[in-house]
Chain A
Amino acid sequence: MLRSLLTNPMALPVVFPLLAGLVCLLLPNAASRLRVWLAALAAIVVLAFVWPLFQQAGQTWNPLPWLTLRTDLLSVFILLGVAFFGLVVAVYSVGYMKDRPHQRAYFTYLLWTLGISCGVVLANDLLILLVCWGFLALILYLMAGLSGPGAAEAARKSLMIIGGSDALMLLGILIYWHLAGTTRMDGAALALDGPLAYMAFLTLLAGAFAKAGAVPFHSWVPSFGEKVDAPVSAFLPASLDKLLGIYLLTRLVLDLFIPTPGMYGMLMLLGAVTVIAAVLMALVQHDLKRLLSFHAVSQVGYMILGIGTGTAIGLAGGLFHMLNNTVYKSALFLGAGMVEKQTGTTDLDRLGGLAKLMPVTFIVCTIAALSISGIPPLNGFASKWMIYQGIISSGDNGSFAWVLWLAVAMLGSALTLASFVKVLHATFLCKPSVEIRQMEISEKKGSMLLPMIVLALLCVVFGVYAFQVPLGFLIFPVVAVTVPGVWWSGLATVLILLAVIVGIGLYWLTMRGGKLRRMRTYIGGEQMQDVYLSNDEPGPLRHVEVTGVDFYDTIEQVPGLHRYYALMKDRVFDIYEFLKRSADYFVQMLRALHTGILPSYLRWFVAGLLLVVWVVTMEGR
C-alpha cells in the first residue's frame, strides 16, 4: 500500500507535494532560499507528474475499498490547470516572499494546497472529495492568517462560508448516498425526481458556488482579496478555487445529476445576477485588490451562465472561460502584488503614473484587463463569444429568457471594461501621486516578472489561436461541439491590428498638423484650480488632483443604482452578515432567558420533568 502510494502515477501528484511541503516545513529558517527554490522545483515536478495523466485520461486506481481515484477528460484538464497555476504562483512567490515573514508556513501551505487540490480532482468518491475540500478550506484559512492580524476577519469569513458549505455538502453527499446507493462518482447520474434529490443537488451546488465565489456565497472573495497577500489571492480565489468550484459544478450537471430545465434556468439566473451585482461593486472600489476580487466574483457568473445554458457550446464556453479567467485574473493579481511590493499600497487614490516606472507590469495588466473585458482578439473575448452562442442556443426550446441573459452578459462586459479603464488610468496612466513621486520604484525581480509575462502571452495565444490551442487540446476533448457562430480569430486579429495601426497613424497625423488645443482640466464645467485645499480630516494640506477614481464615485449617485449601493454598503446581500444578524436575534433572546437566577432554572427543570414523565408513561395508559 505504502509502496504503491509512492509509485502509482495517480497518487504521485497528491503525495509528492504533500511530502515536499513537509520537507519545507522541516527545513530550518536558515535554509530559506533553499526552501523557496525547492518549492518552485516541486511545483515543476508536479506538473511533470500530471502531464502523463493528461495524455492518457481514463485511468482508475482502486487500492482500497474506500479509496478510488479516476481520471477522465474533464479531470485531467482541471488537473493540468491546477498544476500549471501552482507552478506560476510558486515561481512568482520566489521573488515576492523574499524578505517577508512566515516563509516556512507559506511554502508548506502552498505545496499542500497543490497536492490536495490534485486529490480533489482525482477523487472518484464524493466523500474523498469532501475530505480534501475541507482540508483545502483549512489551509486557505491558515494561508490568510499569514497576512497578519489585519486579515483575521477576512480569514474567519472565508472559512465560515467555505466550511459552512462543507457541512451542506456533507448533507448532500449523504442524501446522494442514500438515493444512489453509492458515493462513487462514475455511477449513473441521478434524476432530479423528488425533494430529496433536489436537496442533494442544491446543497452540493452550494459547495461549488461557495468555492468558486458565486452569488449568494461570494462575499468571502472581496474580503479575502483585499486583506490577504496578492499571490495567495492569485493562487486561491482567482485560480485554484475557480478551477475546483467549476469542476464540481460541471461534475454535478454532467455526471452526478440530470438537471431539469428549471434548475438550468436557476443556474442562469444566479449566473446573471453574479455578473451584474459584482461588476457594479467593482466599479466603485478604491482598492485595487478589492476591485479585482469583485471581478473574480463577476467572472464566475459568466462560467455559470455558460454551464447553465445546458448546451454543449455553452458548457465548452464556460469551461474555456474558467481557464481564461484563471489566466488573466492571476496575471492581474500578480500585477497588483508587484504594485504593492514596490509601492506598499494598493489604494487607487494613492497610486498613479506607474506606466513609466513599471512598464512590464503595465503591459501585462493592460493585456489582462483588455482580456477580462472581452476585447477581441484576446482570450476573454473568445470564451465570452462561445458563452453568448450558448445563451442564444438555449432559446431553442422556445423561451425568450435568453434575450435577457444575453443583454446582462453584454452589459456586464461593458461595465467590466469601464472599471478596468479606471484601474489602468488610476494605477498606471494618471499623474503620479505625491507619495509615488517620492519613491524609488523599479521592477527588478525576474522571478516575479516571468510568470506575469507568461500569463500575458497566454492571454494572447489563447485568444488568437483559440481553436488550435486551448479549445482543441483542452476543452473539445471534454465537450465535443461544433461552433455555430462565425468567428475567425485570425482574420479578426489582422483587422484589429490594422485598425490600431490606422488609429496610430491618424493620431500622428493630427499631432503633426498642430491642430491641437491644450486646455486646463475641467471638472463639472468648472476649471480645475491648481490650489491646495484643506482635507476633511485633520492633517497637512492636500493637493487637489484628479485621481481617476473620483469620477466613478458619481455612479453611486445614479438614481436607480443609489439604492443598490446603499444596500450593499449595509451588507444586506452578504449571506455571512445576513445569517449572523438573524442568528444574533435568537442568541439575544436565549441569553435573556439565562438570567442566572436559580428559581427560574428550577422551574425549567420541573417543567421538563413533567413533560418527560408524561411522554414516557403515555404508553402505559
Chain B
Amino acid sequence: MFGMNTDVQAMIPMFVAVPLGMSLLIQLVARHRQVLAETLNIAAMMALVVMSWSTIGGEGIYHLGGWPTPVGIDMRMDALTTLLLLVVSIVGFAVSVYAVDYMRRFTSTSHFYSLFMLMVTGMNGVILAGDLFNLYVFLEVAAIASYSLVAFGCAHEELEASFKYIVLGSLSSALILTGVALVYGITGTLNLGHIAERIAESGMDEPLLLAFGLFIVGFGFKSALVPFHAWLPDAHPSAPAPVSAMLSGVLIKAIGIYVLARLAFNVFGISESALEMLRWLGVLSMVVGGLLAVGQKDIKRLFAFSSISQVGFMVLGLGLGSPLGMVGALYHLVNHSMFKSLLFLNAGAVEYTTGTRDLNQLGGLNGRMPVTGATSLIGSMSIAGLPPFNGFWSKLIIVLACIEGGYYMLATVAVLVSIITLAYQLKVQRMAFFAALPEALKNLRREPPMMSLAMILLAVGCVALSLLMFSGLRDPWLIGTAQQVLSAGAFGG
C-alpha cells in the first residue's frame, strides 16, 4: 500500500534535516545578529509548511543512507504523519512570527531559536521515525530542548518548573527505554513494521504486554494524562509564551498522543481492556483538568490545565476504538493545536503589555488590545465547543462516537466537561478582557504588529478548520487518516 512516490521520498529526511541544520546555522552565523536569527527561524518554518503541504497524499519509506530495512534507519510517511507534520509546521510558523516581537525582552535570543529548531527537529523525527530506537532518540531531543526552553527565563519560577519537568520527564523516558529494550529482547527487532508483523504472528506475551503498559505510561506522561499530568501546569506557563504555545499546542501531541495511537493501534494491536483503560484515563483527565482550570487565577496556568482536559477528549476518542472515535480524536487534536496555541499567544500578549498573568489584576483589555481580545474570543469559543467554531465539530464527533458505541455515560460526561470548558473560558474573557479596566492599566499600549499577525493567523485557522467538515478535504484528511490508523498492519512491510 506504500506507493513509492520518489518526490515525497526524497523529501522525508528534509523534515529533520532542515530544522536540525538551521539550529546549527543559527549558532554559527546569527549568534549575535538577532534579526538574522529571527529571519532564519521563520524561513525554516515556512519551508516546513511548504514541504508538509506538498506531501499531502504522499506515502513512502525512506531508507537512510540507502541501507535496507533491518540494518539501516527507516523513516516512513503516511496520511497520519502528514497531518501531524502539517500541524507542527503551521503552529510553529505562527509562533515564530510571534516570537519576533515577544522575544525582544529576552537576552541571547539566538539560543532560543536554536533550541526551538531542535524541538521541531525532535518532533518531526518522532513523527517520521520508523523504528522504536530512533523514535526514542528524537523524543529525547524534543524533550531536552523543551526542558531548556521552559527554563529560558532563568527566574526562580522557571527553574523550579523545569526541574520538576526534568525529574518526572526522565522517569517517563526511562520507562519508555525499558519498554524499547523489552520489545527488542523479545521480538529481536526495533523496526515498527517488523514488530507489528511478529506480534501479528505470535501474539502478545506477558513481557510484551508489560512493555506496552510502560509505553502507555511513558507516552501518557508526555501527553499529560491524569495522573501523570503534574508537571504540565508548572512547565507550560513558565516557558516564554511562544514556547508555551508549542508545548501545549503540538509537543504533547507529537511526542504523546501520536505515538500512543501509533503503538496502540498500528504496532501492538490494542485489547478491549486496554481500550477501556484509555477511556478511563481520558475521562479522568477531562474532568480533573477542567475542574482545576476553573479554579486558576493565573491565565497561563488556567490554559495549561485546560490542555490536560482537552487531551482527555482526544484519548477518550482513541479509547473508543471505533473509526468515528478516531476521526473525532484526530480532528480534536488538529483543532486543539490551533486554538490552544492561539490562547497561549493571547496570554503572552496580555503578559507582554500588562506585565502580569494574574486575572485579578487584569480587566477591560478589549478596548486596549482589540486584536488580542477578538482572537481570544474566537479561541475561547472554539475550545468551549460553541457552534459553529471548530471545537464544536470535533466534540460533536467524539460525543457521537460515544453514543454510537453505547457509552452514554461517557457522552454525558464529555458534554458536561464542555460546559466546564465554557465556564473557565468565560472566566478569562470576563476578568481579562471584559470587566472594567483597572487604574494601573490606563496607559496600555497595543500589542505589537508581528504578535497581532500571528494571533490573527491562528484565529483564521480556527475558523477555517470548522469548514473542514464541509469541504472536500474532510475525507482524505480525517476519515482516510483515521481508517489508516485503525487498520492493524498499516505498518507492515
Which A residues lie at the B interface, using CB under 8 A?
66, 127, 130-135, 137-138, 145, 149-150, 152-153, 155-156, 159-160, 163-164, 166-168, 170-171, 174-175, 177-178, 196, 199, 580, 583-584, 586-588, 590-591, 594, 596, 598, 601-602, 604-605, 607-609, 612-613, 615-621
A357 smallest CB distance to B (angstroms): 33
Q: Are A590's CB and B292's CB within 8 A?
A: yes
Collect the chain B residues with CB atoms within 8 Å of residue A586's CB: 291
Q: Are B227's CB and A607's CB within 8 A?
A: yes
Q: Are A149's CB and B435's CB within 8 A?
A: yes
Collect the chain B residues with CB atoms within 8 Å of residue A607's CB: 227
Collect the chain A residues with CB atoms within 8 Å of residue B234's CB: 596
Closest to A136 in B: B387
Q: Are B273's CB and A601's CB within 8 A?
A: no
Assembly CA distance A155 to B426 (angstroms): 9
Q: List the 8 closest pairs (A to B, CB-CB), nearest first.
A: A134-B387, A601-B230, A616-B213, A613-B213, A149-B436, A587-B295, A620-B206, A604-B227
A326 smallest CB distance to B (angstroms): 25
Interface residues of B in 379-393 (CB under 8 A from A): 381, 384-388, 392
B470 contacts chain A at the CB level, 8 A cutoff: yes
Other A-B contacts than A178-B404, A583-B420, A620-B206, 14 sampled, CB-CB below 8 A, are: A131-B387, A131-B388, A134-B387, A137-B386, A149-B363, A149-B436, A152-B436, A163-B419, A171-B415, A586-B291, A587-B292, A588-B295, A604-B227, A613-B217
Q: Are B435's CB and A152's CB within 8 A?
A: yes
Q: Are A152's CB and B233's CB within 8 A?
A: no
Q: Are A608's CB and B228's CB within 8 A?
A: yes
Q: Are B422's CB and A612's CB within 8 A?
A: no
* Residue from B271, B366, B404, B422 whose CB has the most chain A CB atoms within 10 Å: B422
B100 contacts chain A at the CB level, 8 A cutoff: no
B292 smallest CB distance to A (angstroms): 5
Collect the chain A residues with CB atoms within 8 Å of residue B274's CB: 615-616
Q: Are B399's CB and A617's CB within 8 A?
A: no
Assembly CA distance A71 to B437 (angstroms): 47
Collect the chain A residues with CB atoms within 8 Å of residue B24's CB: none
Closest to A177 in B: B400
- Contact among A167, A199, A587 for B385, CB-based, below 8 A: A167
* Residue from B172, B233, B387 whose CB has the most chain A CB atoms within 10 Å: B387
Q: Are A612's CB and B217's CB within 8 A?
A: yes
B288 contacts chain A at the CB level, 8 A cutoff: yes
Q: Are A166's CB and B387's CB within 8 A?
A: yes
Collect the chain B residues with CB atoms within 8 Å of residue A587's CB: 291-292, 294-295
B150 smallest CB distance to A (angstroms): 15
Q: Are A164's CB and B233's CB within 8 A?
A: no
- Contact among A66, A156, A164 for B429, CB-based, below 8 A: A156
Collect the chain A residues with CB atoms within 8 Å of residue B281's CB: 612
Assembly CA distance A618 to B210 (angstroms): 10
Q: Are A133's CB and B171's CB within 8 A?
A: no
Q: Show 28 residue pairs from A and B whose CB-CB distance is below 8 angstroms, ordered by the A residue.
A: A131-B387, A132-B387, A133-B387, A134-B386, A160-B423, A166-B386, A167-B415, A167-B419, A167-B422, A170-B392, A175-B411, A178-B404, A584-B294, A584-B295, A587-B291, A594-B292, A598-B163, A598-B164, A601-B168, A604-B228, A608-B227, A608-B228, A613-B217, A616-B210, A616-B213, A616-B216, A616-B273, A616-B274
Q: Are B430's CB and A153's CB within 8 A?
A: yes
Assembly CA distance A416 to B415 (angstroms): 38
**A602-B295 contact, Cβ under 8 Å, with A156-B426, A175-B403, A612-B213:** no
B221 contacts chain A at the CB level, 8 A cutoff: yes
Collect the chain A residues with CB atoms within 8 Å of residue B392's CB: 131, 134, 170
Q: Are B400's CB and A594's CB within 8 A?
A: no
Collect the chain B residues with CB atoms within 8 Å of residue A134's CB: 386-388, 392
**A609-B411 contact, Cβ under 8 Å, with A153-B430, A598-B164, A616-B209:** no
Closest to A596 in B: B234
**A171-B411 contact, Cβ under 8 Å, with A134-B386, A590-B295, A619-B209:** yes
A454 smallest CB distance to B (angstroms): 34
Collect the chain B residues with CB atoms within 8 Å of residue A133's CB: 387
Q: Are A612's CB and B221's CB within 8 A?
A: no
Collect the chain B residues with CB atoms within 8 Å of residue A149's CB: 363-364, 434-437
Closest to A171 in B: B415
A209 smallest CB distance to B (angstroms): 15
- Against A, the Cβ 8 Å flags (1 = close, 0 = not) of B414-439 are 01101110110011011000111100
Assembly CA distance A620 to B274 (angstroms): 12
Closest to B230 in A: A601
**A594-B430 contact, Cβ under 8 Å, with A145-B366, A613-B213:** no
Collect the chain B residues with CB atoms within 8 Å of residue A590's CB: 288, 291-292, 295
Q: Is the interface of B mostly helix, strand, loop or mixed?
A: helix
Q: Are B403's CB and A609's CB within 8 A?
A: no
A220 smallest CB distance to B (angstroms): 12
* Residue from A134, A590, A605 whose CB has the most chain B CB atoms within 10 Å: A605
Assembly CA distance A160 to B164 (angstroms): 36
Assembly CA distance A133 to B387 (angstroms): 8
Closest to A604 in B: B227
B102 smallest CB distance to A (angstroms): 26
Q: Are A602's CB and B292's CB within 8 A?
A: no
Q: Are B411's CB and A612's CB within 8 A?
A: no
- Against A, the Cβ 8 Å flags (1 = close, 0 = not) of B219-263 are 011000001101101100000000000000000000000000000
B415 smallest CB distance to A (angstroms): 4
B397 smallest CB distance to A (angstroms): 10
- Contact among B292, B363, B384 for A591, CB-based, below 8 A: B292
Assembly CA distance A76 to B319 (angstroms): 45
Assembly CA distance A133 to B234 (angstroms): 38
Q: Are B210's CB and A174's CB within 8 A?
A: no
Q: Are B271's CB and A612's CB within 8 A?
A: no
Collect the chain B residues with CB atoms within 8 Å of residue A583's CB: 291, 294, 420, 423
B408 contacts chain A at the CB level, 8 A cutoff: yes
Assembly CA distance A246 to B210 (angstroms): 57
**A609-B204 contact, Cβ under 8 Å, with A156-B430, A163-B386, A170-B396:** no
Q: Are B388's CB and A135's CB within 8 A?
A: yes
B360 contacts chain A at the CB level, 8 A cutoff: no
Collect the chain B residues with CB atoms within 8 Å of residue A66's CB: 470
Q: Are A604's CB and B422's CB within 8 A?
A: no
B212 contacts chain A at the CB level, 8 A cutoff: yes
Q: Are B436's CB and A138's CB within 8 A?
A: no
A320 smallest CB distance to B (angstroms): 31
- Against A, the Cβ 8 Å flags (1 = close, 0 = not) of B289-313 are 0011011000000000000000000
Assembly CA distance A604 to B212 (angstroms): 20
Interface residues of B in 27-68 (CB under 8 A from A): none
- Contact among A156, A168, A178, A620 for B415, CB-based, below 8 A: A168
Closest to A179 in B: B403
* Residue from A130, A602, A612 whose CB has the most chain B CB atoms within 10 Å: A612
B412 contacts chain A at the CB level, 8 A cutoff: yes
